[in-house]
Structure 1
Amino acid sequence: MAIKSSATARADSADFRTIIANKLPLMDVRAPIEFEKGAFGQSINHPLMNNDERAEVGLCYKNKGQAAAITLGNALVCGQSKASRLAHWQNFAQENPQGYLYCFRGGLRSQTVQGWLKESGVNYPLITGGYKALRQFLLNELEQLALHPLTILAGNTGSGKTPFLAHCANSLDLEGAAGHRGSSFGGFVTAQANQINFENKLAEQYIQGKFSLAQRLVLEDEGRLIGSVHLPESLRQAMTLAPVVVIEESLDYRLEQIYQEYIIKMTAQYQLAYGEEQGFIAFSEYLAQGLFKVRKRLGTERYGQLKQIQSMALSQQQKGQLAYHLDWLKPLLSEYYDPMYQYQLGLKADRVVFQGNNAQCLAFIEDK
C-alpha cells in the first residue's frame, strides 16, 4: 500500500504551521520515556525502541560509536519485536494517510522506521529535524503570541471567567493548556501537564486559532504560576501591561459556581475514574489538601474550624446531602479568596477599563 509518494517524504519548517493548525496525525517513534517528557496534542507514541533498549543503545553509542550502536539496535529490534512494531506503524499509516512520523532530531530512528515501512510497501513522510525542530517552532510561536494586543479578564473566584472565555472567539484558555484552574483547589483527577507540554498545548491552541498578529486576544488574569507550571516570561510581561476587564458577580452567584465546580463535578470525575467508594475517598483527600494549602492565610484557628465543617459536609454528602459544603465554601470565598483578589486587583487598578457582569463584559469586549 502506498500512502505517500517519495516526493513528499519529508515535512520541513514551512509545513509545521499546517501540521499543527490542522491537527494532522503524528507518529512519535521515540521511547515512551521521551514521549512522557514532552509531545504534541495530535501525536501517538509507537516507539522504535522501548526505554531499556534505548538506554542500552545510547550507552553503546557513547562508548563504541554510531556503527556499533546501529548494529546493537538492529539486534535488539528484530524478529517478532520488529514485526509487531512494524504492524503498529503500518496500521497508523493506513489509518492516518495525511500524517507524519518523527523521532527526536529526525535522524536515525525516524529514518529507520521510514525505511522499514518503505520496504513493506508504505511510503510515509517524516518531520525534518524531528521533535526538536517542531518544538522550537512552537516556542517561537509563543514569542509571537506575546506581541499581540491583549485584554486581561479578571474577576473574583467563581465569577465565571473560564466559561466566559469559551464565548470569546479571540480568547486563549491558559488554564486549559495548563490542566489546572490556578487555585488551591485547581487540580483535576488527571495529573497536570508538565512545563513542556503546557507550552506545547498553549502554542498549539494559539496556532489553531489562526489569529492575525494585529488581533486582540483575551486571556484570563493569572499569576506567574498556574499550578506547577509557569507562564512564558515574554507573555507574562505582556500581560502585566495589558488593559483589564473585570467581571463582577454576586457572592451567591459565585458560591453556586464553585459549588458546582469543586463539589458536583469533581465528585463525579473522581468516582468515574476510581469507582464510587474509592472515588469518594480520593475526592475527600482532594478537598482536604486544597484547604490545607491555604491554612497559613486562614490562620490556625480558622483553618481548624473550616476543616471540621468540611469533614462534616463530607459525612453528610455520603448520606446524599451535598449542600452542607456551602457552609465552608462561603467563608472560604469571603475570608480568603475575595480579600486576596481585592488586593491583587488594587495593584492593577490603573489598567482597569471596564467592570460589569458577564453579559456586560462580553458585550464590551465584542464591541472593542
Structure 2
Amino acid sequence: MSLLNADKDLPVIDDLLNLFLQDVPLLDVRAPVEFFEGAFPCSTNLPLMDDADRVAIGTRYKQQGQDAAIELGLQRVSGEIKAARVAAWQQFAERHPDGVLYCFRGGLRSRTSQQWLYEQTDIRYPRVHGGYKAMRRFLLEQLETLPHLLQPIILSGRTGSGKTRFLRAFTQQIDLEACANHRGSAFGTQPTPQPPQIGFENTLTIQLLRKFHQGQTALLFEDESRTIGSLHLPDTFFETLRTAPLVLMQVPNEERVEISYQEYVVDNTASFIAVHGGDTEAGFAAFSAYLLGSLAKVQRRLGGVRYQQAREMMERALQQQARDQSTTAHYDWVRFILLDYYDPMYDYQISKKQDRLVFTGSPAEVREYLNAQGIH
C-alpha cells in the first residue's frame, strides 16, 4: 500500500492566518498525549494512533526505519480499529465540512488519515501543510510581533472589585483569566483544570490575532502578575502590559465583600457540584477542599495568628453550609481575607505603579474614561 504517493490529488492548505481568524474546525489526528501537551481552541482530537501505538511505532522507526514503522502501523491500526477511527473522522467531517485535519508535521499520519477517509467515504478533507508544528510556529511568531502593535490599557482595582465582570462588558478586551481558566489569586483555582502552557499561549495569540485584524489595537486587560495560577504570561506580551497606562476602579468595601462572596462561595459551590455531575455531597467536599487549600497557600503571608483566625471562620462556615446549605457565615472570612490580607498587599503593589496611573474613579467613571480613549 503506497501511503507516500496516493494522496497527491487530495487537498492541502497553507493559509494558516485564515484558519485561526475564521474559527475553522480542526481535526487533530495526533496521539492523545501530544494533544494534551498543547492544542488549539477549535481542535478535536480523533487520533490515528493511540499513545501505545505511537510509542511502539516510534521505536520501530528508530530501530528499523520508515518502511518497518509503516508496516507495524498498518498492523496495529487495522480491521475494526481502523474502521472505528475512519468512522469518527467521517462524523467530524460531515459535521464540519469546512474543517481541516493535521498531525504533528503534516506528514505520514495526516496523509494516511486523509487517504483512508477518502478511500472509505469519498470525502476529500483538506490537511494542513506542515501540520501542528507549522501552526504553532506561526502563532509564536505572531506572539512576538503583535504586542508591539497594541495600545493596551490596564484595569486595576482591589480584590473583589468586580474587575473581570466589568472587563467582559467591553468588546475591545481580552480576558486573560478566562484564557488561563484561573481567577489569578490564591483563591482563583477553578473546578476544572488549567490548560497546558502551550494551549494557553495558543488561545491568547489567536485572540490577539482576531482583535488586530478587526482593527482593535486599543485593548483593555485586567491587571495581572506574570503568573496566573500555574501559567505564565509570555515575556514580550507581559513586558508590553507592565508598562501600559493603568486605570484604577474604586468600589466600596461592602460591595467588594458581596461580589467576592457571590463569586467565591455561591458561584463556586454551584460550579463544583456541576463538575461532579450534580452530586451535591461530592461537589461540596471538593468545594471545601478548594477553600481550605486556597487558604493554606497564603498561610505564611497571613502569619500564624491571622491564618488560624481565618481557618476557624472558614471551618465554621463550611460546617453550617453542610448542615443546612446556608452560606451566610462565609461572609466573615471573606471580609477578613479581603480587608486584612489582600488590601495591604494591593496598597503596596499599586504604590509601585503610580507613574503609570492615568485615571481613578468609580466603575461608571472608569467606563466613561475608557470610552473617551476609544475602548468600547
TM over 0.5: yes
Tell me by how many angstroms 1:216 deviates: 1.4
| Partner in structure 1 of residue 199 of structure 2 | 197
Counterpart secondary structure, 1:364 = helix
Aligned AA for 1:169?
T
Q: 1:142-157, aligned counterparts within 5 Å? A: 142-147=143-148, 148-157=150-159
Show CA shifts across 1:36-65 (max 9, x none).
Answer: 111111111111111101100000011111
SS where residue 320 of structure 2 aligns? helix
Q: Are positions 1:278 and 2:279 aligned together?
A: no
For residue 322 of structure 1, give the secondary structure of its aligned residue in structure 2. Answer: coil
2:129 corresponds to which residue?
Answer: 128
1:338 and 1:225 map into 2 onto residues whose CA distance is: 20
Quick one: distance in 1 between partners of 2:254 and 2:53? 58
Q: Which moved more, 1:117-126 or 1:26-35?
A: 117-126
Q: Give, as a single letter, the amino acid of the residue that structure 2 aligns with 1:282.
A: A
Counterpart Cα distance in 1 of 2:256 and 2:364: 15
The one-character-per-residue Cα deviations of 1:300-357 (angstroms, maximum 9, x if unpaired) are: 0110111011100111112232111111111101111111111110111111000111
Matches of 2:316 and 2:49, distance apart in 1 = 52
Q: CA deviation at 1:145?
A: 3.0
Contact 1:6 1:123 (C-alpha < 8 Å) held by counterparts: no
Determine the structure 1 residue equivalent to 2:332: 327
Q: Using the alignment, how far apart are the partners of 1:183 and 1:168 within structure 2?
A: 23
Query: Structure 2 regions of 5+ residues with no counterpart?
Result: 1-6
The amino acid that maps onto 2:147 is: A
Q: 1:210, 1:17 → 2: CA distance?
A: 12
Further displaced range: 266-275 or 136-145: 136-145
Residue 312 of structure 2 corresponds to residue 311 of structure 1: no
Contact 1:149 1:214 in 2 (8 A): no
Question: Which residue matches 1:242?
Answer: 244
Shift of 1:141: 2.1
Q: Provide the residue aligned with 1:226 in structure 2.
A: 228
How many residues align structurally? 362
Q: Which runs of 5+ in 1 are unaligned?
A: none
In structure 2, C-alpha distance between the alignment counterparts of 1:204 and 1:158, rounded to whole Å: 29
Alpha carbons 2:101, 2:126 under 8 Å: kept: yes
Compared CA separation, residues 358 and 6, structure 1 to 2 (3 A) = farther
Would the aligned equivalents of 1:156 and 1:248 in 2 still touch at CA under 8 Å?
Answer: yes
Is the contact made by 2:211 and 2:217 (CA closer than 8 Å) also made in structure 1?
no
Aligned to 2:41: 41
* Contact 1:310/1:328 (8 A) holds in 2: yes
Helix, strand or coil: the match of 1:105? coil
Q: Is the 8 A contact 1:180 1:187 kept in 2?
A: yes
Measured after TM superposition, the shift of residue 207 of structure 1 is: 2.5
Aligned to 1:362: 367
Query: Equivalents in 2 of 1:98, 1:212: separation in Å?
Result: 22
CA deviations on 1:88-136 (whole Å, 9 max, x unpaired) are 1111111111000000000000001111122221111001110111111
Q: Which residue of the partner structure matches residue 219 of structure 2?
A: 217
Q: Which residue of the partner structure matches residue 344 of structure 2?
A: 339
Query: Any idea what the Cα deviations from partners look like across 1:178-225, whole Å, max 9, x if unmatched?
Result: 111110010110011111111011112222334467721111111111
Map of 2:302 onto structure 1: 298
1:7, CA displacement in angstroms?
A: 7.3
Q: Which one-letter code corresponds to 1:164 in the other structure?
A: F
Give the Cα–Cα distance (whole angstroms) in 2 for the partners of residues 276 and 211 of structure 1. Answer: 45
Identity, in percent, stands at: 45
Equivalent residue, structure 1, for 2:188 = 186
Task: Specify whether residues 134 and 365 from structure 1 end up closer, same or farther in structure 2 by C-alpha distance, changes over 3 A only.
Answer: same
Question: Any residues of structure 2 matched to 1:18-57 within 5 Å, and which?
Answer: 18-57=18-57
1:271, 1:78 → 2: CA distance? 41
Deviation string 1:212-255 (CA, Å, 9 cap, x unpaired) is 67721111111111000000000111112111001110111111
In the alignment, the residues of structure 1 paired with residue 360 and residue 37 of structure 2 have an alpha-carbon distance, to the nearest angstrom, of: 41
Aligned-partner residue type, residue 24 of structure 1: V
Helix, strand or coil at the partner of 1:44: strand
Structure 2 counterpart of 1:178, one-letter code: A
Secondary structure of 1:156's partner?
Answer: coil
Tell me which amino acid in the other structure corresponds to 1:146: P
Tell me, yes or no, if the aligned pair for 2:102 and 2:127 is still in contact at 8 Å. yes
Q: CA RMSD in A?
A: 1.5
Cα separation, partners in 2 of 1:217 and 1:6, compared to 1, 3 Å: farther
1: CA distance between counterparts of 2:48 and 2:203?
25
Query: How far apart, CA to CA, are the structure 2 residues paired with 1:309 and 1:29?
Result: 50
Deviation at 1:144, TM superposition (A): 2.9
Question: CA–CA distance in 2 between the matches of 1:235 and 1:122?
Answer: 41
1:160–1:358 Cα contact (<8 Å) kept: no
Select between 318-327 and 27-36 the one with higher mean Cα deviation: 318-327
Q: What is the alpha-carbon distance in structure 1 between the residues aligned to residue 58 and residue 8 of structure 2?
A: 30
When residues 165 and 19 of structure 1 are mapped into structure 2, their CA distance, relative to the original with a 3 A threshold, is: same
Measured after TM superposition, the shift of residue 79 of structure 1 is 1.0
